[in-house]
Amino acid sequence: MAHPLVLGIETSCDDTACAVLDGEGRVLSSVVSSQLAAHRPYGGVVPEIASREHLANWPAVSGEALARAGISIREIEVVAATRGPGLVGALLVGLSIGKAIAFAGGRPFHAVHHLEGHLYSPFLRPPGDPRPPDLPPDRFLGLVLSGGHSSLFAVEEGAVSTLAETRDDAIGEVFDKVGKRLGLLYPQGPKVDELAERGTPGAQRFPVSRFGETLDFSYSGLKSQALLEIERLERILGPIDLGADLGMSGEPPQAVLDLLAAFRESAVGQVLDRLERLHERRPFSLLAVSGGAAANRLLRRELPVWAERHGIDLRLVPLIYSGDNAAMIAHAALLRQRRGLTDDPFAAEAESRIPL
């Protein structure tokens, strides 16, 4: 086990997460506890419930992370917690716990930007791979696709600049909204993806949206088209409720599966369109793709083909670290620690919106 041992804490939304990394970035443990059941009766994430759940879950989640890593809290040498963006009350729980552990042990502390965690997560090794992660190169292109972001970042010598972001909805968000309209429960993205697998490719088409000459993403047009199409189908088929269908009568209508396949094709097509145009304007040699929506099956099939055709070194986040987790927070902190950056635990504040 290489030193320093890093404890990561992530409580920005509705997952309570804790991880331990060794000094070379190997993940010794990563535990994520979902609060889905607690929020389900309300049909969405309730901020105050999230905060209370983080407090209630922390002892078990951190206990499990330390036990799996085979260490005690006293052996932790660096502490990191997410400072934002996210739900302030939820962030405050993890951030305050992190500050307290760092202060009590006299350890260096890092207040990590959630997107910085995602940005470097493609370098993490999947579980079972004993090699330490590669050091991120001095220059690379980062693509973060999540419930809150569809963003392209240029990373140069540790400095991050935003090249493109979404003008309206994020990619994961439209998967959720289209799924919700069909009666699926949050998070709908993975279920929509799964259903789209059973649609007939090309049976229906939605155009790939562009936002003028910019490389910015825009998903609200696709969302409206998909919702209108659902309405049209409902006039033919009657009310569609896949929440009920999936539970009881099995297979959803083929027309719905085809619609979802077309929706997904356009959503993923937009990602490839932006990458293609960016590469023409400003060629890049390494692309790191992360975020919850980087779990998308079509995206994970198409990106490697695209990257190979352009001779690009593609780093696709290991599935297990695509959604929110604390290993990515500890990893980002380790990279900061190596550059000699630390935060004052008393000065670091939780913030709902902060630029990267």
User: 87-116: which residues touch Zn ion (CB under 5 A)?
Assistant: none
- Measured from the CB of residue 61, what is the shortest distance to Zn ion in angstroms? 17
Residue type, 317: V
CB 220 within 8 A of CB 168: yes
Compute the least distance from the CB of residue 189 to ligand KG4, in Å: 2
Residue 121 beta carbon to ligand KG4: minimum distance, rounded to whole angstroms: 9
Count of chain residues binding Zn ion (CB under 5 A): 2
Residue number, 98 or 323, with CB nearest to ligand KG4 = 323
Give the separation between CA 150 and CA 168, rounded to whole angstroms: 10
Taking the complex as a whole, how short is the minimal distance between the CB of residue 280 and Zn ion, in angstroms?
Answer: 29
- The interface region with Zn ion, picked from 74-82, 142-150, 261-269, 296-304 by CB under 5 A, is 142-150
Least distance (Å) between residue 249 CB and ligand KG4 = 24
DSSP category for residue 285: S
The DSSP-derived string for 291-347 is: SGGGG-HHHHHHHHHHHHHTT-EEEEPPGGGTSS-SHHHHHHHHHHHHTT--B-TTT
Contact residues for ligand KG4, defined by CB under 6 A: 146-148, 172-173, 175-176, 187-190, 193, 291-293, 295-296, 323-324
- Cα–Cα distances in angstroms (integers) from residue 244 to residues 43, 183, 189, 251, in the given order: 15, 8, 17, 11
Element (H, E) at 161: strand 159-164
Which residues in 236-255 contact Zn ion (CB under 5 A)?
none
- Pick 76 or 260: Cβ nearer ligand KG4: 260
Phi, psi of 4 (to 5 degrees): -85, 150
146 binds Zn ion (CB under 5 A): yes
- State the binding partner of 190 from Zn ion, ligand KG4, none, CB within 5 to 8 A by kind: ligand KG4
Q: CA 324, CA 91: separation in Å to the nearest integer?
A: 13
Rule CB under 5 A: which of 310-339 touch Zn ion?
A: 324
In this structure, are residues 306 and 272 in contact, taking their beta carbons and an 8 Å threshold? yes
> Smallest distance from the beta carbon of 235 to ligand KG4, in angstroms?
27
51 binds, among ligand KG4, Zn ion, none (CB under 5 to 8 A by kind): none
What is the rounded distance in angstroms from the CA atom of residue 338 to the CA atom of residue 4? Answer: 10
**In the complex, which residues of this chain contact Zn ion (CB under 5 A)?**
146, 324
